[in-house]
């Protein structure tokens, strides 16, 4: 399996040696695999699994084996999104609106984007979540990611702008890791990319590497007709200073969507 700079894999921890009672199977190494919901799951006899998937087994046995295989693949895909434990429980329904119209509107835009993702994917249609820090943009973007992975089998990733820049900067310093072109190819390959915390740094005219780098990421996905979600605490007038005016045009093109988060932070006294 190819290693990824941005997409983590489930953790594994060895348990020891187990014995399968099926004829001829004997002992096998067993381990626990980290689950996206926070638990750990022990592996079972690999020969039993192989036989259930490949031999003429009883229908219920085969169906159970395929269901287990699909669950493992989904767990890997959810981990690969890069959604951190803090945001793994984020759903559209857990986003607290208190019936406030601005919050209801933002929630509705994000939910519809997820539910209509097939059309947005085909069009390469972007979505921008813009507003103050701490008002639920990352919450709703993670809800979108989980929905498209679970319901459409899509490959998704959320990564901060700073993490992209750090990875590329590191690639200039070492020949051991992935190259810049390899990193950009990885960011271009996923079905849905979420770039978080855009505009958190102070722009330095003529010396700022970030806008040109983010433009490369956004433009490459634009050329491949792949959708991008961008999250920023800057408004639509300020944002071009952080990603470049051409990247802004790319995000707006073909009916690009905007969800405004116009209320103040919810981190004081509550969480959305």
In contact, 180 and 166? CB cutoff 8 Å: no
Number of helices (H) and strands (E) in the chain: give both, helices first: 10, 8
pLDDT for res 63: 85
* pLDDT per position as a tens digit, 113-126: 999 999 999 999 99
Using alpha carbons, select from 198, 183, 178 the residue that is nearest to residue 247.
Answer: 198
Look up the CATH number of domain 85-261.
3.40.50.300
Distances (CA, A) of 74 to 10, 39, 54, 108: 11, 15, 21, 26
Residue spans of the domains in the chain: they are 12-80, 85-261
pLDDT for res 60: 83
Decide if pLDDT at 3 tops 70: no
Say how far residue 113 (Cα) sits from the centre of its chain: 15
pLDDT for res 203: 62
DSSP codes, 232-268: ESS-TTTTHHHH-HHHHHHHHTTT-EEEEE-SPPSTT
Predicted TM-score of the model (pTM):
0.90
Distances (CA, A) of 162 to 16, 165, 169, 255: 40, 5, 10, 27
């Amino acid at each position: 399996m190819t290693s990824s700079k941005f997409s983590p894999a489930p953790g594994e921890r060895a348990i020891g040696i187990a014995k399968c009672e099926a004829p001829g199977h004997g002992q096998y190494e067993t381990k626990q695999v980290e689950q996206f919901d926070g638990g750990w799951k022990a592996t079972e006899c690999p020969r039993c699994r192989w036989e259930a998937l490949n031999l003429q087994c009883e229908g219920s046995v085969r169906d159970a084996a395929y269901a287990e295989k699909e669950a493992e693949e989904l767990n890997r895909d959810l981990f690969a999104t890069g959604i951190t434990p803090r945001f793994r429980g984020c759903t559209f329904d857990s986003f607290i609106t208190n019936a406030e119209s601005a919050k209801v509107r933002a929630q509705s835009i994000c939910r519809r984007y997820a539910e209509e993702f097939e059309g947005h994917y085909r069009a390469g249609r972007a979505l921008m979540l813009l507003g103050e820090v701490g008002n639920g943009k990352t919450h709703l973007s993670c809800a979108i990611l989980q929905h498209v992975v679970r319901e459409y089998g899509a490959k998704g990733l959320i990564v901060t702008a700073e993490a992209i820049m750090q990875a590329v900067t590191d690639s200039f310093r070492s020949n051991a890791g992935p190259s810049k072109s390899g990193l950009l190819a990885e960011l271009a390959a996923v079905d849905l990319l979420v770039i978080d915390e855009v505009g958190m740094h102070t722009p330095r005219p003529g010396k700022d590497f970030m806008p040109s780098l983010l433009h490369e990421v956004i433009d490459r996905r634009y050329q491949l007709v792949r959708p991008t979600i961008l999250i920023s605490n800057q408004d639509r007038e300020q944002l071009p200073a952080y990603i470049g005016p051409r990247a802004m045009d790319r995000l707006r093109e073909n009916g690009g969507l905007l969800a405004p988060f116009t209320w103040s932070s919810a981190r004081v006294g509550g969480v959305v």
